[in-house]
Amino acid sequence: DYVASVVSEWAKTNFEVQLEPYDLRGMHDLNELEHYIKEQAKAEALTTITATLDEFLGEDEAEEGSGGGNSKSQGWDVKGLSSWAMSRFRVNLPQTQIKRMTKDEVEERLRTAALEQIEKRECTGLEKYLDPIYAESELANWARERFDDQIDPKDFLLEDAPSRRSAEEIVEMIQN
């Protein structure tokens, strides 16, 4: 589960999406991982936008005008919304522009921009985690740094099969 955990952390850092490592098990194809992460990030972004807009714009906006001096915008935290849109989704939404928009227009603008921004993000950083012996290489690096122990990552694998030695065997190798 190490690789799935690392990919989960990578997604959290790079896409601001919380993924369970369990859901990433067995995904060894970059395109499959990229699609899954982006779809989850998009879904989370849309949910976040809806919930957060209520904090900045209020929940009781039953009937809004069609922009152009919308009086309902007077109680809005346009400064906070503008800052949040830029920091969370890299969307430049000036305060003056927000004041001229309806709540639905603001939401649609944020949704569109967030989805575009997520789609544009690169996932090439995931490639290193897809190396078949990534976990073994990381363990070998750890043993090297911690104990000055030079172990070839391939030594953690069984000689005639692409599977790992038992945990006890690996511990014994490092201890020796």
130 is written with which tokens? 């897809």
> Residue 109: enclosing H or E segment and its boundaries?
helix 103-120
Query: How much of the chain is in helix, strand and coil states, percent to nearest 5?
Result: 70, 0, 30
DSSP 8-state secondary structure symbol assigned to residue 165: P
Per the CB < 8 A criterion, the answer to whether 110 and 93 are in contact is: yes
The span from the CA of 114 to the CA of 60, in Å, is 24
Tell me the pTM. 0.78
Q: How many CB atoms lie within 10 A of CB 86?
A: 13
Which residue reads 């209020």 in tokens?
58
Spatial CB neighbours of 1, under 8 Å, sequence gap ≥ 6: 21, 22, 25
pLDDT digits (tens, 9 = 90+) for 7-55: 999 999 999 999 999 999 889 899 999 999 999 999 999 999 999 998 8
Q: What is the pLDDT of residues 163-173, one digit of tens each?
A: 888 899 999 98
Q: Is residue 154 classed as helix, strand or coil in its secondary structure?
A: helix
What percent of the chain shows pLDDT beyond 70? 90
Max CA distance (Å), the chain: 75
Answer for the pair 10, 129: CB distance below 8 angstroms, yes or no: yes
